[in-house]
Amino acid sequence: MSAHLYDALTARFPKRDKPFLTTAEGRSVSYRELNEGSGRIASVLRDLGVEPGDRVAVQVQKSPEAVLLYLACLRAGAVFLPLNTAYTPVEVGYFLGDAEPKVFVCDPARREEFAEAAQNARVRRVETLDESGGGSLMQKAKAAPPEFANTSREPDDLAAILYTSGTTGRSKGAMLSQENLASNARTLVEYWRFGPKDVLLHALPIYHTHGLFVAINTLLMAGGSLLFLPRFDADTVIRLLPEATSMMAVPTFYTRLLQHPKLNPALLKHMRLFTSGSAPLLAETHREWGAKTGHSILERYGMTETNMNTSNPYEGERIPGSVGFPLPGISLRVVDPDTAAPVRRGEVGMIEVAGPNVFKGYWRMPEKTAEEFTSDGYFKTGDLGRVDERGYVYIVGRGKDLVITGGFNVYPKEVETEIDALPGVAESAVIGVPHPDFGEGVTAVVVRKNGAKIDEREISRALDGRLAKFKLPKRILFADNLPRNAMGKVQKNVLRNTYRDIYKNAAS
């Protein structure tokens, strides 16, 4: 009986027990405790009525127990559905209604806040888990046996659903199979040279593909260890870097660390790898990091739907502004967006990818899934890019108007809908504008109704609590009208160009 992904991970577990995860406070969870703890939680899930294929929705703070819960879902055959901790009850209500999970696990402090949403979605059981490992889930787990007979899973069975953003409509649930995740972890272990002696400094959130699958799956499969921080804090990262060999990060981490007075090459003498992803890394940041530390950041390119697609080489030139080469086993091509014909080297077109890492489709959206795949099985990423003569891939923009801020996706329509509903607003357009700290800053351009006096502070106050913090506009600007083409469509490219420098000297 094979629990496909979990078995692929445990096959690389070290023969002699050692810590897998150590918190900033010094608490340690060994590989043996990882197996026993996930077994206990898997037993609880089964007692709660979770059957293979059932969804388990999770919105909890980062903790060792949250990692155990993820592994427990794999062992129980459940489909893990992590949710951003910033999501409001309104937003969570949508996800619960769409995914119809059997169990929803949330922070004890927010249980009452989510009670109505869970009831409306007919969630059978609501359990709790806090960042210190407290809550009803772990109370039940303490009384459960550590031995658990893993549920058999096939390579194409679902392991997770991650909701991703688009430019219109609601979020889509990307269905990731057991082999989607296993294949990508295997590839990254080899390509980035991870092994049992590696210690990854982990300051990423774990409701996102980067911190959950790229970091945790890869280090588990390598038999390595994590320094597990609840969140990014520059002082804590600086303190722990001498104990690490690698760090996975978003561009914001590097811009913050570059401002730290204690950053120097001697501090990083044990480090072998710094990676960056989830948002564009400015070439200027890449060069400044290299000059100050002596290390070259390895930038790569991935998506919720695919995990990692490309990477700069481990050995060889890491080019600022480039995301490197397609990873082994992954095919990438650049095509004309209108004709779908391949473009010549160096020309810009739409990026399409195929490989074992590419997701199965969007949850309960067969028509949308069909639209996003070509007849020969390539996924249309929606990203515009080019491949140079040496084979390096460059992302130059997005065919859609998706905003990526601090590594998180924001689709403009959702923010625009909230703004447009406010008294005094005639219409709005939300765009991403280059930001030195977040890659892109969510920016709203608003047209007032005649005679209306609504201002930036009033709109910000109205949006607070309606949208997750990362979706809130960093600036709200006002215009007499929005630029439109002959068909009446708002020309967001014109807006992006008009306001491209508003964050040039911004400090977050």
* Identity of the amino acid at 43: S
- Contact predicate 218/185, CB 8 Å: yes
Taking the chain (508 residues) in consecutive chunks of 10 residues, what is each chunk's mean pLDDT? 89 93 96 98 98 98 98 98 94 96 98 96 97 97 97 97 71 96 98 98 95 97 98 97 97 93 96 92 90 97 96 97 97 93 94 98 97 97 94 84 85 86 92 92 95 95 94 96 75 92 75
Q: What is the pLDDT of residue 169?
A: 58
Q: Nearest to residue 181, comparing CAs of 250, 37, 82, 285?
A: 82
Q: Nearest to residue 412, comparing CAs of 383, 379, 445?
A: 445
Q: Hey, what are 46's tokens?
A: 């089964």
Q: Hey, what are 100's tokens?
A: 């119809």
Q: What is the pLDDT of residue 167?
A: 45
- Enumerate the H helices of 245-303 as residue ranges: 251-258, 283-293
Q: Hey, what are 140's tokens?
A: 């039940």
Q: What is the pLDDT of residue 1?
A: 56
CB under 8 Å to 317, separation ≥6 — which residues? none
Distance CA 290, CA 342 (A): 35
CB under 8 Å to 461, separation ≥6 — which residues? none
Distance CA 482, CA 491 (A): 8
Distance CA 161, CA 365 (A): 13
Q: What is the pLDDT of residue 419?
A: 94
Q: Nearest to residue 183, comparing CAs of 59, 359, 21, 338?
A: 359
| Torsion angle of C-alpha atoms 217, 270, 202, 408, degrees rounded to 10 | -100
- pTM of the predicted model, to two decimals? 0.86
Q: Nearest to residue 248, comparing CAs of 286, 291, 204, 289?
A: 204
Distance CA 340, CA 351 (A): 10
Q: Hey, what are 21's tokens?
A: 């995860």
In whole angstroms, how far apart are CA 346 and each of 58, 384, 391, 399? Answer: 43, 12, 9, 17
